[in-house]
Amino acid sequence: MENNWKNKGQQWVYSLINPFINLLIKLGITPNFITFLGLIINVLASIIFIIGVEKGSRGDHRYIGWAAATILLGGLMDMIDGRLARVGKQESRHGAIFDSVLDRYSEMIMFLGICYYLIGHSYFLSSLFAFIGMIGSIMVSYTRARAEGMGLKMSDIGFMQRPERILLIGISGLACGIASHFIGSDYKIMVDWLPFPLFETITIFTFPLFILAVLANITAINRLLAARDLLNQP
């Protein structure tokens, strides 16, 4: 069921971007160029997070919204490069490696910006979740690459893969930025028995980071266990 919905969503996005793909083919734009552009966009997102610390205040979450929108744009580039390679018949083994390596750089740079923002504004617990999420993201990709290098299929195992991670971070960050405009960045719900707010505006961004940290590491562990079971089959 999960893969069915994912495939339907993917096909819907493809129907939207196919005219743009055809234009890129006519212009002679290569998939590797789009992959590199995605890296640059994620660097820009990280810079926005950093500016949010250096120029903004703890109660100003507009930078999260702008950075998240940039992350979603970078994620779109990740979808376009693969589609461009297939439709334009430009698929290659080097292109696949290039895409995979730059995707890892893009994601780590993105998490660098997120952690910098959260630490810079004293959201230490949330920054820990972001760091654990970064570890899980690396391990999700590593377990798949290592297992598939041994001939084992891992792409269908686990939920929190790269597209899901990008969507979760991008949508939650964008929602946080929009919400801060309407309800204010300092909005809080306090309860007597908790030493910290039960909810505040930035929770819209940080709670999904906690979910990502948990599910990404569960996905990596599930892939490790699945690989063990497949290798132990007679």
Which of residues 182 and 184 earns the better pLDDT score?
182
Packed helices 162-183 and 62-87: angle between N→C axes, nearest 10 degrees: 150
List of residues 6+ apart from 111 with CB closer than 8 A: 130, 131, 133, 134, 137
More confident residue, 129 or 17: 129
Neighbouring residues of 206: CB distance < 8 A, sequence distance ≥ 6: 118, 123, 126, 129
Residue 133 has pLDDT above 80, yes or no: yes
Stretch 184-202: mean pLDDT = 80
DSSP 204: H
pLDDT surpassing 60 at residue 132: yes
Query: To the nearest whole number, what is the mean pLDDT of the chain?
Result: 89
The mean per-residue pLDDT over the stretch 24-42 comes to 94
Contacts of 87 (CB under 8 A, 6+ apart): 18, 21, 22, 25
pTM: 0.90
- Structural domain tally of the chain? 1
Residue 5 reports pLDDT greater than 70 = no
Task: Inform me whether the pLDDT recorded for 2 exceeds 90.
Answer: no
Q: What is the average pLDDT across 28-55?
A: 95
Lowest-confidence region among 88-92, 182-186, 202-206: 182-186
> Per residue in 198-229, pLDDT tens?
788 999 999 999 999 999 999 999 999 988 88
Q: What does the pLDDT look like over 104-122, one tens digit per residue?
A: 999 999 999 999 999 999 9
The answer to which of 50-64, 109-123, 178-192 has the lowest mean pLDDT is 178-192
pLDDT tops 60 at residue 172 = yes
Structural domain of 209: 2-231
According to the model, what pLDDT value does residue 232 have? 86
Q: What is the CA radius of gyration of the chain?
A: 19
CATH code (residue 139): 1.20.120.1760
Decide if pLDDT at 167 tops 90: yes
- The pLDDT of residue 32 is 94
